[in-house]
């Protein structure tokens, strides 16, 4: 949110189910902020818009129906081939960083795949992953299970750091 605020709606509390689930959601959202995903998406959107203006200008002498198809193809191609994969990459990155943050903070990382299983049970309708801003739940759950040992190792390393005054 603007001004660096992190918000999630109370409707997700039932899915969170417990403090570890809340920590998973908050860790994920904090990770987006730490990784500056919002600014990156805005930058990519500006590039996409500039490309759209260039496409419109270059195609201005085409017959109208052909020009419309060119502009439509540009929009679909850059969204499906650029914007959506970029967004899914951000979501996966936020999943990993959020898992690490919550584990370092002392929450149970094993709860995160369970949270996504509950999210999957609540989801209405499926669309192909290539048309989505988020990875499919099964991929997220598999990735998170794979990353749990890494998050635990990182948390252990951080807790063993000795500070010298």
> What does 20-74 look like in DSSP terms, one character per residue?
HHHHHHHHHHHHHHHTTHHHHHHHHHHHHHHHHHHHHHHTTTS-HHHHHHHHHHH
Q: Which two tokens stand for residue 159?
A: 């807790």
CA dihedral 137, 139, 144, 149 (to 10 degrees): 160
- Which of the following is catalytic: 29, 57, 91, 137? 29
Q: Is 29 a catalytic residue?
A: yes
CA dihedral 112, 116, 121, 125 (to 10 degrees): 170
Q: What is the pTM of this model?
A: 0.84
Each residue's pLDDT tens digit, 79-111: 999 899 889 999 999 999 999 999 999 999 999
Distance of CA 97 to the CA centre of its chain: 11
Each residue's pLDDT tens digit, 7-56: 878 889 999 999 999 999 999 999 998 998 888 889 999 999 999 999 99
């Amino acid at each position: 949110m603007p001004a660096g605020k992190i918000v999630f709606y109370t409707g997700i509390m039932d899915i969170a189910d417990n403090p570890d689930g809340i920590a998973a959601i908050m860790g994920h959202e904090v990770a987006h902020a730490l990784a500056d995903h919002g600014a990156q998406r805005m930058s990519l959107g500006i590039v996409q818009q500039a490309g759209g203006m260039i496409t419109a200008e270059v195609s201005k002498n085409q017959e109208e129906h052909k020009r419309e198809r060119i502009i439509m193809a540009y929009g679909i191609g850059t969204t499906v081939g650029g914007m959506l994969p970029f967004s899914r990459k951000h979501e996966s990155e936020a999943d990993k960083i959020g898992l690490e943050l919550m584990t370092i903070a002392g929450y149970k990382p094993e709860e995160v795949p369970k949270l996504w299983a509950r999210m999957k049970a609540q989801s209405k309708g499926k669309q192909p992953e290539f048309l989505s801003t988020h990875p499919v739940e099964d991929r997220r759950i598999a990735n998170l299970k794979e990353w749990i040992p890494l998050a635990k190792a990182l948390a252990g390393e951080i807790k063993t750091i000795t500070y010298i005054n």
